Amino acid sequence: MKKIKKINVLHLFEMAAGPSIQTYFYKKFGYGESWVLSKNRKHSVVDYYEIIEKFPKIRDVIINALRRCDDSVDIVFIHGSEFAVPIFKIFTKKKVILQYHGSDINMKSRSKNPFRIICRSMSDAIIYNQKSHLKNIITIGHVKKEYHPNAVDTDLFKPSNVIKNGCVGLVSDNLNREDTLKTLKNFENITIIDKNENEISYENMPEFLNQYDTFIDYKKTNFGMELTALSRTALEALACGCKVYHNNQIIDELPNEHKPEIVIKKLYLLFDSILEGRD
């Protein structure tokens, strides 16, 4: 069996637990070392993995990351924060990849901001986890852009031998509460969980999801955008063997593109192509 070339990655800024899950599986599959540096804040998913090195302020993240960029780091992987791209391109001479996760590119004020456009255009590659993001990723000149779906932790989220009944939907302040509640109440035999009143820990989420036959996935932002991609919780429900009602259709299995072995291999191949200068 051919031995793969190790590529070591330094992630900056936690976004929706993406860097933590990427790092967990990247190291598990043996592609190389991976680290995450970010601002200190509580997040149930992030705290579950215990991977992130946390710092009080964003500038502390930048300073410590610059110090870490020695020969052991091959790729600097920045999540959401375009402003950091020129800093690391200029001062470290490393290859820099920028990833968008949602609100960091969906809002016009961010997508079309001239300063942000200049910063993101200095990336060696830009990846995005929803196909609808592409139209908002405005750059100057040619920048490699690739669609990379979110990985689901299939080590944690998997079916259990319990009888599944009814359906469930979640409400939180992250999305339009009024519109979400109105939509969820149209379903029979539904349990509606208000995440503000009943927060379910990440490690307990598989047990919770395994109780239900169907997860209702409806997402409309507070700025009026209805999100068409499957939510992370919907993907986790599919991994647990639940069905998901999404955009007026039923999905009954986790799409292959969200399986960690597929997601992480695709990331590794991108890193390798950037380092080797292949477009």
Find the Cα–Cα–Cα–Cα dihedral 135, 139, 66, 274, rounded to 10°. 80
Over range 109-134, report the average pLDDT. 94
Give me the phi and psi of 154, to 5 degrees please. Answer: -80, -5
For the stretch 208-259, pLDDT in tens is 999 999 999 886 654 555 667 788 899 999 999 999 999 889 999 999 999 9
Instruction: Give the per-residue pLDDT at 1.
Output: 47
* pTM (predicted TM-score): 0.89
Q: What is Dmax (Cα atoms) for the chain? A: 58
Q: Which two tokens stand for residue 152?
A: 């689901």
Q: Which residue has the higher pLDDT, 175 or 203?
A: 203
- pLDDT tens string 66-86: 999 999 999 999 999 999 999
Question: What's the rounded Cα separation, in Å, for the pair 250 and 108?
Answer: 31
The b/e string for 175-213 (b: 16+ C-beta within 10 A; e otherwise) is bbeebbeeebeebeeebebeeeeeeeebeebbebbbbbe
Residue 239 tokens read as 């991994």
> In this predicted model, which residue has the larger pLDDT, 200 or 262?
262
Query: For residue 86, which phi and psi values (nearest 5 degrees)?
Result: -65, -30
Distance CA 227, CA 224 (A): 9
State the fold for domain 9-150+259-276.
Rossmann fold (3.40.50)
Surface-to-core class of residue 1, CB atoms within 10 Å of its CB (0-12 exposed, 13-18 middle, 19+ buried)? exposed
Pairing of strands 190-194, 167-171: parallel
How is the chain split into domains, by residue range? 9-150+259-276, 167-256
Q: What percent of the chain has pLDDT over 70?
A: 94
Say how far residue 252 (Cα) sits from the centre of its chain. 22
Tally of CB atoms within 10 A around 146: 16
User: How far is Cα 233 from Cα 174, in angstroms, rounded to an integer?
Assistant: 14
Mean pLDDT (the chain, rounded):
90
